[in-house]
Structure 1
Amino acid sequence: MQTAFTNICERMGQSQELSEFKCGTVIGCHLCNKSIREISLLLNIPQSTVSGIRTKWKRLGTAATQPQSEQGQTMLKHTLRRSRQLSAESIAKDLQTSCGLQISTTTVRRELHRMGFHG
């Protein structure tokens, strides 16, 4: 017998992307002036997911998944906030050990320069 608690526990931790069709359906419902709650009930997906898709579509003009390079830039910013006096070599090593990114010191320097860090 499956209880409500068991059902919730089975769903916890499941992080999977919606298909392009479902994302398009969410955007289509939004364009037809449906509320987040109505879209959520209609498509049987959480309201937070509907809200996230709408926000991404409004901000970027698309609901497609963004490339992994943004994740690397975010990690680089967090590393720099800890200490601004790290060398490019130590930043590259830190990123390789902490999140498994294969990154060269030249790439670190280029990204730092692009983000406005000079010197």
Structure 2
Amino acid sequence: MQTASTNNCERMGHSQELSEFKRGTVIGFHLCNKSIREISLLLNIPRSTVSGFITKWKQLGTTETQPRSGRPRKMTEWGQRRMKCAVRSSCQLSAKSIAEELQTLHGLQISTTTVRKELHGMGFHGRAAASKPYITKCNAKRRMQWCKAPHH
């Protein structure tokens, strides 16, 4: 049995989801009159998670995960791989040309803004050179003279 000083972050990450077996085990221990603290220590999961599962089980009568709200992603993993290949083959492509390429070659209907968002998520960022001031011939001559002159 583990001690109560174990850090919750070490035990279970924020994005992990418990298996159906572990969720059933939590309910089984609850039905055997084990406390939330005891269940937490035995299964090595946070007390808040145990409490949440028991509450959901009492309200819904099931331990299955409920569907999450939110819009599904437009790009699949396959589409992301295609886009990454297109960008790596030619780094100078615009988002519009990448979107057109994905539409013609792979049949993906995707907008340029979605392409930009996905590329940013992958770590690709468009960078433009800084604008340089217009240098006249007179200014160029002065600069050259300044460079040649001894500096104090």
Q: Compute the TM-score of the two structures, normalised by the length of structure 1.
A: 0.48
Higher helix share: 1
The TM-score, its normalising length taken from structure 2, stands at 0.38
